[in-house]
Structure 1
Amino acid sequence: MTGLMDSATEIDICNHLKLHLKDGHDKGENPFRVYSLLSAYRIFSEIDKIYGWGYYPSSDGKVNTPLLTIKEILRKSFKSRPKEDILFRHKPSVKRSKQNASSRASAGCDNQFDSIHLNPYYRGKIKGRNFCVIDDFNTHGTSCETVRHLLEKAGADKIIFISLGKYKVTYKKYNYTIEGDVFTPNYTYTRNGDFSEDRGVINNDSSNELLKSLRDYFLC
C-alpha cells in the first residue's frame, strides 16, 4: 500500500495504518476495525488451509500488540488451533529502518538469522503443512525471505507471507543454505551469491474494495 498510492484518501489511510502498526497509535485498535482491514484476504482459498499463523517479531523482541491482535483474529477466523508464536527473537537485532537502503540490501537476512529461530513447540509439526506469517511493512523483503528459508528448512509445504504495507522498492530474493537445528539459535547459514530482484504485480482491481472497507473505520 504505502508508496504506491495516488489519492489523498489512500495516503491518509496508509498513514493511519502506519501509526497503528509502528507507533502504537490506538485508532484501529478495535478488533472489528482490524478485521475489516483483513477481510480482503478471505478471497484467497489458500488461507483456509493454513495450519499455523504467526507474525514477524520486532527487532527488540518485544510483543508487537497490533500484529499479535491481527494474527489472533485471523487464526480464530480460519479455525487454526495452534496459538503459539512461530518465530522467536532470542536477542535484539539491528533496527532495519535505521539503515540506509544499500546497507539493508547488501546485509540480506544475515542479522535476522543471527537473532531468530523457530519456536520449538512446532518441532515435528511443520513438515507438509502450510503456514502464514504477517508483518507490518515490507521494504526489500528481508523478513519474508527469513521466514521462507527457516520454514522451508523445517519442511513446510506452503508459506504465505502477508505484508500490510509495501514500500516502493523491488523485492529481493536471497539464496541461502541453512544447516543445523532451526528450532534453536545454533543453526548456521551460508549465503550463495547475490540477490535477484522482483518487481511483482500490483492488483489494482482490489484497491477500491479495500478502500471502501477501511475508509469509515480509519477516517471516521
Structure 2
Amino acid sequence: MLALLASPSSILKTATKPDTDIVEALKDIANKNNPVAIVSNNPKPNWFDEAFNLSKVVFVRAKGRQSGQFIKDVAKKHNMPTSNFLCLTATDEDYMMGKNGQAILIAAGWSNNAKAKSLGIQVANASELKEVFELTNNWPGSWWFTGNSPSYGVRALADLSSYGAGADQVSFSQKVTNTVKQGGGRLNALLTITSRSLLLEWGGEKKGVFFGVYPSSDPTKFNDEVLTDFTHRLRTTVSRVRYADRSEPLFIRHTASPKRSKGQGGDRTDPTSQVTTLHLNPSYAQSIRGKDVIIIDDCTTYGLSFGVAAAFLAAAGASSMTGIALGKFGSRLEHYHITLNSDPFAPVKASDFTLVEHTSLPGKTAVGAQNALHELVP
C-alpha cells in the first residue's frame, strides 16, 4: 500500500486558494483507503477543512519536517518501508522532507521550484498524479529477480518470458523505448517502481553511487538516448550524486559488436566481442574510484553484459557494481569472473583479458512483480 504526502504549497493555485483538481485527486486517492496527508511546519490552513470536507485526507503539523524524521516515524509505526511514501514536491522543504525521509519524490509540474524541476518523476496535473499513484499502487515493492555473485549483483524488474510467444529482447526493448518516449503516467510509474525497489533494498540513499548505461552494440549510437534519459530521471529520484552527464556516456563503444539478441553473436557466453569493442570513458577515471556503480540495461538473458561491465569497473577501482535490467529472459543467467590486464579506459585486446570462470548465478524471485510491468510496458 502506498501513502501520498503533500504540503499546502504543493496544492495551492493562488496564495490562499487550493487547486480544486488537485484537491479532488487527493480526496479520490484517500477515499480508496490509501493514506493521504497534508504535512506542514505551520498550523492548519484556513481553507483545509472546507476543501477536504467529508474526505479521508488528514492534516499533520510536523515542525522541522525537512529532516524527514516524520516519514521515518510514521513508517516505523505502521511497519511499512519509507519507499512506500510518495512525496509531492513543490518547495525546497518538500524536497528535503522526501529526500531525508527516503521517500519517492514526485515533482508537482505546476511548481517553478528549481529542485522540483530537477526531479525525474514529474506530474503535469491532477490526472497524471492519480494515474502514477494507481499504476504504482499494486507493485509488490521489490525486484522480480535478485541475484548476487562474488563480485557483483544483478536485479531485474520482471520476467520477460511471461510475455509469451514471440517475446524477445528486441521487441521488449522497443516497448521500453515507446514507454520512455511517450512519457506521462506509464513512464512515471515505471520510474516509481524502479525507485521503490532501489530504496527498499538499500534502505535509502546508497552512498557514493554512480549511475551508468550499458552501451549499444552500434558505436554510432554513442549514448542510448532512451535508457540514458530513463537513468538520468532515476538517479535524480534516488540519489543526490550526479556524476555521469547525459551527453557523456560511462562506456564508449569504439567498434561495432555483433547484436547478440538478434543471433549475430555466435557463442553468447563468450565475452570477447564485448570486451574488445568497448572501454570506460576516461572522463570518469577519478570519479568512479571507490564508488558503488549502478549499470542500467533494458533486458538480460545470460548476464554477459553485466559481467563485462563489472570487469571494467573493478579494474577502474569501483567499490561495487549492481546491474539492473528492466526485464530478464529465461533461466540461463550466469556469473562471469573476468579480469582485465590492461587500462580499462582504453581499448582492450583479446590477449589483455582472462575469463577466469562463468557459473550459474542463482537468485530469488518475487511472484507477481512482472504483472505490474506488463501493465506499464504493454
TM-score category of the 2 structures, normalised to the smaller one: 0.7 to 0.9
Among 181, 187, 191, which residue is 1:34 paired with? 187
Q: What percentage of aligned pairs have identical amino acids? A: 25
* Structure with greater Cα Rg: 2
On the 8 A contact 1:20/1:26 being kept in 2, the answer is: no
Among 41, 66, 70, which residue is 2:230 paired with? 70
In the alignment, the residues of structure 1 paired with residue 329 and residue 373 of structure 2 have an alpha-carbon distance, to the nearest angstrom, of 22
Report how many residues are paired: 206
On the 8 A contact 2:191/2:233 being kept in 1, the answer is: no
Cα distance change of structure 1 residues 102 and 94 upon mapping to structure 2, 3 Å threshold: closer
Structure 1 runs, 4 residues or longer, greater than 6 Å off = none
1:89 maps to a residue whose letter is R
Note the C-alpha offset of 1:154.
1.1
User: What do residues 106-126 of structure 1 show as CA deviations (whole Å, max 9, x unaligned)?
Assistant: x2x211111111111111222
Aligned twin of 1:21: 173
On the 8 A contact 1:22/1:136 being kept in 2, the answer is: no
Among 172, 185, 201, which residue is 1:44 paired with? 201
In the alignment, the residues of structure 2 paired with residue 129 and residue 156 of structure 1 have an alpha-carbon distance, to the nearest angstrom, of 5
Cα distance change of structure 1 residues 32 and 90 upon mapping to structure 2, 3 Å threshold: farther
Note the C-alpha offset of 1:141.
0.5
Cα distance change of structure 1 residues 127 and 83 upon mapping to structure 2, 3 Å threshold: closer
In the alignment, the residues of structure 2 paired with residue 101 and residue 169 of structure 1 have an alpha-carbon distance, to the nearest angstrom, of 19
Cα distance change of structure 1 residues 151 and 218 upon mapping to structure 2, 3 Å threshold: closer
User: What do residues 182-202 of structure 1 show as CA deviations (whole Å, max 9, x unaligned)?
Assistant: 01114621223x421124211
1:46-125 superposed matches below 5 A = 48-49=205-206, 50-61=208-219, 62=221, 63-77=223-237, 78-84=239-245, 85-99=249-263, 103-105=267-269, 107=270, 109-125=271-287
Cα distance change of structure 1 residues 23 and 198 upon mapping to structure 2, 3 Å threshold: same
User: What do residues 162-198 of structure 1 show as CA deviations (whole Å, max 9, x unaligned)?
Assistant: 0111001321222222112101114621223x42112
TM-score, length-scaled by structure 1: 0.79
Among 101, 121, 144, which residue is 2:306 paired with? 144
Note the C-alpha offset of 1:38.
3.2
Note the C-alpha offset of 1:95.
0.7
What RMSD, in angstroms, separates the aligned Cα atoms of the two structures? 3.0
Long gaps (5+) in structure 2? 1-157
User: What do residues 32-82 of structure 1 show as CA deviations (whole Å, max 9, x unaligned)?
Assistant: 532311323232227722521111111112132221121110122222211
On the 8 A contact 2:161/2:330 being kept in 1, the answer is: yes
In the alignment, the residues of structure 1 paired with residue 325 and residue 263 of structure 2 have an alpha-carbon distance, to the nearest angstrom, of 20
1:124-135 superposed matches below 5 A = 124-135=286-297
User: Are residue 200 (structure 1) and residue 363 (structure 2) matched?
Assistant: yes
Per mean C-alpha deviation after superposition, the further-off stretch among 146-155 and 32-41 is 32-41
